[in-house]
Structure 1
Amino acid sequence: MKKRKRLLSAVLAAVIACSGLAACSGGKGASSGSPASGTKSRAQDTLIYAQGADPRGLDPALVDDGESAKIIVNIYEGLLKYNKDSTEVEPCLAESWDVSKDGLTYTFHLKKGVKFHDGTDFNADAVKFNIDRQIPPKVTEDMGYAGFVFGSVKSVEAVDPYTVKINMKAACTPFLNNLAMSLGAPMISPKALQDNQNNVNEHPCGTGPYKFVSWTKSQNIVLTRNDNYWGTKAVTKNVIFKFIKDNSARVVALNNGEADVIDGIDATVVSQIQSAGNKIYEAPGMNINYMAYNTTKAPFTDAKARTAVSQAVNVPELVKSLYQGYSDPATSVMPSFMPGYDAGIKQVPYDAAAAKSALAAAGIKSVHMITYSNPRPYNTANGQALAEAVQGYLSKVGVKAVIDSYDWTTYKEKVKAGDYDICFYGWTGDNGDPDNFMELMTDKDPTMNVARYNNPAFKALIDKGVAAPAGDARNKIYTDLENMAAKEAVWLPISHGKTLCGYRSNVKDFYYHMTGVVFLSGVSKG
């Protein structure tokens, strides 16, 4: 109990500090409660969300991970947003838009009277500044989502203070969906970017319902309500994202009342959460959990070697054992509800005898695997458990797998360095478009294309799919891409995970969006 009291005291101290700091960021300070309300009212007006790791940063253009995105969407907004229950786009900072018949010009009509958290105006110049930052000649190598969102953009024009024209190099069917993404697309205060040398990872400044207050590394990030928000004000005054690496520790925090919502849970803790009187949020996940081969490093430059290792892993058995019904075995890269999915796609089948023979013939006796230690939305069991399961299968066919495991932030750097034979990764779809999944195997960024796959025929088909109008012909392109990736054994698709979160029984209106982020402005504690 002493530990719990210390944690709650620390949380309340952060909330009190946040009330004082809010005025420094251009907003109104939170009003102080009466002595009668005191501690209870402050705790009631603070939502604590516990996740497994710190974000990599809070600049939407400079990060590419889900832990960052969950926080970012509460601080920033884009021109468009997704419907609460789908990836259908709706107006946000743009009230309306027009698209030319040839698909090469998009004209956006912006909402008036919107201000960034630093008090500066959101307008056409701000939009141009944000997009110009992520296209040539200004785009930098560390902008992992720039190509996803703005790769087809030729130029941007501020027609007048509230009209923006975006000119395209080529037609891009997913472009409107891209503009609602949680990464790359959100609008940042140009002044904040200029004041912070084009990097607001630790000084975020958007137009969203919450403002940034503080970040204590490995502990928490504190946000406070933006009382000058142009839309519906946030229900809960303060939000604290708390970082608890261990899965079981997050469950204890929830059940003890030290957290209001937790994510990254797996099947083994569902009954523990429910028996304490708390609730489970469950929904289909738009994701893929996979094992990737480093296709630039022998022996996995050869598709036959990749196939042999994949044959050693009994995916359905692994998924059943590890996820206990809360993930489905993946028969394709894309989820089954996405355009282009085909039930006829065949991944490398399990065949231990064939794997053992082929691996021995190729002289493959050991492999170096790297993985992550924390849970992920697509892999709630965490990367260590998954890697160890694969390690067990490989040992049965005469291959020793050496595993190096890292926290998520370090892991991303290890992936970027490329010193591995096999890595474990995953993806939660950003925009509901099949290109968002299949393009991962052509991206130039090694933290996106972790297999480092480079196939000109695959890339040409990707380019064709991006430009093709929505419909059956476009869907077939992505089915063909799926078949090509399976034949080449670029990845071993493992599972599509269900979204699982735990929350206190007094938490109202919580939901986890299918794109893997949490919008908390409508959430309250009853």
Structure 2
Amino acid sequence: MSWRMRAVAITAGLALTVTGCSGGAVRKAASGPTRPFVYSYNLNVVTDWDPATSYSNEIIAMQNIYESLTRYDAATKSVRPLLATRWTSAPDGRTWTFTLRDGVRFHDGNALTSAVAKASIERTIKLAGGAAYIWDAVKTIDTPDPRTLVFRLKYAAPLDLISASDYGAYIYDTTAPGGGGLKAYLDKGHDTGTGPYTVASWNKGQETELRLGQVKDYWGGWSGSHYTSVEFRDTPQVTTAWQQLRTGDVSFVGRLNPQLFAQAKGVRGLKTQATPSFQNLIAFFNTASGPLQDVTVRKAVQAAIDYDGMVAALKGSVTAASGVVPNGLIGATPGLEAHQNTAEAARLLNQAGYGPGKKQLTLSLTYAQGDDDQQTFVTLLSSALKGLNVTLRAKPMQWDAQWSQGKSGDPGKRQDIFVMYWYPDYPDAFGWFKNLFHSARPVSFNLTYLDDSGVDAAIERLPRLVATDRPQAQAAYAALQRTLLVDKAVAAPLYVQQYQRAYAGGIGGYTDNPAYPNVVFVHDLRPTG
């Protein structure tokens, strides 16, 4: 992936096939195309089938199976209705009222009501996994009638944005068909969503990993031309995905390398789309063990990175990072751009007892297997460090192995540098800081292993400031980034991605929405041939 690097890949050789998994009607349309929409992805798709805790690659499928109260439109920077048709907030931002859409049914046939929606949100909060933190402000949820949800908050928060989150905001039926436990039901590849598609088959570990089928009675309807089935293929090699696109075996490739994307723009029968994203690549330094415990060494590695060379080499597929937060979100801060300074890197390494003329240093780094852009970063960094008497042992890994190593309870088994992408859970920068830099036990995505009460307190203030004082929130985000990146040097933001998609020319209606990274809302597409 690694797109977010929230994925856990499937171990090669293991295969689990689940068919007829969902209670929703799965059938071919009476008219229209019979071929499925085939999405080629460079890692496995499904890590976690539970909509409460899902926090990984499966977003590309889950956003077609489950729905939330609202959806964010990145093009207009506005929140739009989805399962809620309207909403209001009190002047103090602490009471929000949502009116639910009428006539919606879950794939198991049960009707959407305020009581069921409340139960799903409360279950997500209780399980406290994935992006459940987005609901931290919620004190109580009332259901005065079957169509109305009233949220009373502990502090002001932008609940319209929160309810549009790409993770953690799904509304689902908490009752498993047949009366068994929901978790066990979901883990077998079933779903209890309200979206236009439902799980038809799941082939864990296989190239064609997941198939979705049409939900006949979807509330959004099927008038006009639609894809009635969807396939997700795990294709690690970009050149293979490119050939499959050209031969018509796949419909959509989420990311090509710059050379292939440039080629795709000139191929008859294909379409391309480039969109600025909210997704960036970050190198996280191990502050808890190994040589990078020393802030001087961390600053030396920061100075050795060829940021400008990386952007140039990737030829328009990325832009320079200025801090952790990409442009377009509160917290984006100009003036934090980094540039390579090998002389300063050598000075700092010498100060720490390493570098030219002193003791050799060896650092370990893990990154995403099959990601050409990350490979470019690794190649440039390895070359720069070699000239500084530092050996970089870089290992490409499937995400499950990389993340497992990073989360290891044995500090001696962890890496020195962990490379992964990140993007917001809802259209605000809070997710970067809450997930990546706030202390956490056990380790999850805070792969710098930072444990700093002052940083934690600054992070915890952010949602209130965003809801009540945007200028102060902007200042707080800027100050926190300077603390983390300049003073403590716990990470190095490397670049911001420019999404470059290539897809079949017969697909109409595709619009990239960076608020839902790598998601294709297939029901919105209009296949023409």
When normalised by structure 2's length, the TM-score is 0.86
Alignment match, 2:207 = 219
Name which of 22, 25, 31 aligns with 2:23: 25
Name which of 91, 100, 111 aligns with 1:121: 111
1:369 aligns with 2:353: no
**What displacement does 1:32 show?**
6.4
Is contact 2:48-2:55 (8 Å) kept?
no
d(CA) in 2 for partners of 1:443 and 1:144?
15
Alignment match, 2:514 = 514
1:406 aligns with 2:397: yes
Unmatched 5+ stretches in structure 2: 1-16, 355-360
SS at match of 1:198: helix
Name which of 106, 114, 130 aligns with 1:144: 130
Is contact 1:79-1:91 (8 Å) kept?
yes
Alignment match, 1:14 = none
Q: Classify 1:32/1:340 alpha carbon distance in 2 versus 1 (closer, same or farther; 3 Å).
A: closer
d(CA) in 1 for partners of 2:308 and 2:147?
53
Regions of 4+ moved over 6 Å: none
Name which of 133, 149, 154 aligns with 1:164: 149
1:494 aligns with 2:491: no
Name which of 442, 454, 475 aligns with 2:451: 454
Alignment match, 1:4 = none
Alignment match, 1:268 = 259
SS at match of 2:150: strand
Alignment match, 1:228 = 217
SS at match of 1:133: helix
1:320-375 CA distance string (max 9 Å, x none):
12x1222112122111232232322354x422122123224424511111111133
Name which of 275, 282, 297 aligns with 1:283: 275
Name which of 121, 128, 131 aligns with 1:131: 121
SS at match of 2:522: coil
1:189 aligns with 2:180: no
Unmatched 5+ stretches in structure 1: 1-16, 376-380
d(CA) in 2 for partners of 1:326 and 1:449?
27
1:471 aligns with 2:478: no
d(CA) in 1 for partners of 2:76 and 2:294?
39
Is contact 1:346-1:483 (8 Å) kept?
no
d(CA) in 2 for partners of 1:177 and 1:256?
40
**What displacement does 1:134 show?**
2.6
Is contact 2:26-2:198 (8 Å) kept?
no
d(CA) in 2 for partners of 1:446 and 1:266?
32
Give, as a single letter, the amino acid of the residue that structure 2 aligns with 1:180: A
**What displacement does 1:269 show?**
0.7
**What displacement does 1:78 show?**
0.6
Is contact 2:26-2:214 (8 Å) kept?
no
Query: RMSD over aligned Cα, in angstroms?
Result: 2.5
**What displacement does 1:382 show?**
4.4
Q: Classify 1:353/1:28 alpha carbon distance in 2 versus 1 (closer, same or farther; 3 Å).
A: closer
1:260-305 CA distance string (max 9 Å, x none):
1111212021233234322211111112111110122233233222
**What displacement does 1:470 show?**
4.6
SS at match of 2:54: coil
1:205-245 CA distance string (max 9 Å, x none):
20011111111123221111212111243821111112211
d(CA) in 2 for partners of 1:93 and 1:402?
49
Q: Classify 1:392/1:443 alpha carbon distance in 2 versus 1 (closer, same or farther; 3 Å).
A: same
d(CA) in 1 for partners of 2:277 and 2:76?
12
- After superposition, residues 7-406 of structure 1 pair within 5 angstroms as 21=20, 25-27=23-25, 29-30=27-28, 41-43=33-35, 46-55=36-45, 56-65=47-56, 67-83=57-73, 85-135=75-125, 138-140=126-128, 143-147=129-133, 149-172=134-157, 174-192=158-176, 195-198=180-183, 200-201=186-187, 202-217=189-204, 218-220=206-208, 221-233=210-222, 235-277=226-268, 278-321=270-313, 323-345=314-336, 347=338, 349-364=339-354, 365-375=361-371, 381-406=372-397
d(CA) in 1 for partners of 2:430 and 2:111?
34
d(CA) in 2 for partners of 1:101 and 1:32?
50
d(CA) in 1 for partners of 2:203 and 2:155?
44
d(CA) in 2 for partners of 1:192 and 1:396?
59
Alignment match, 2:6 = none
**What displacement does 1:170 show?**
2.1
Alignment match, 1:378 = none
d(CA) in 1 for partners of 2:299 and 2:504?
45
SS at match of 1:429: coil
SS at match of 1:387: helix
**What displacement does 1:486 show?**
2.0
**What displacement does 1:167 show?**
2.6
Identical pairs, percent: 23
When normalised by structure 1's length, the TM-score is 0.86
Q: Classify 1:388/1:510 alpha carbon distance in 2 versus 1 (closer, same or farther; 3 Å).
A: same
**What displacement does 1:472 show?**
1.7
d(CA) in 1 for partners of 2:490 and 2:457?
17
1:437 aligns with 2:436: no
SS at match of 1:42: coil
Is contact 2:282-2:494 (8 Å) kept?
yes
SS at match of 1:117: coil
**What displacement does 1:197 show?**
4.1
Give, as a single letter, the amino acid of the residue that structure 2 aligns with 1:478: Y
How many equivalent pairs are there? 486
Alignment match, 2:417 = 422
Instruction: Answer with 353-362 or 244-253: which moved more.
Output: 353-362
d(CA) in 2 for partners of 1:268 and 1:31?
38
d(CA) in 2 for partners of 1:288 and 1:126?
36
1:116-139 CA distance string (max 9 Å, x none):
01111211222222122132xx32
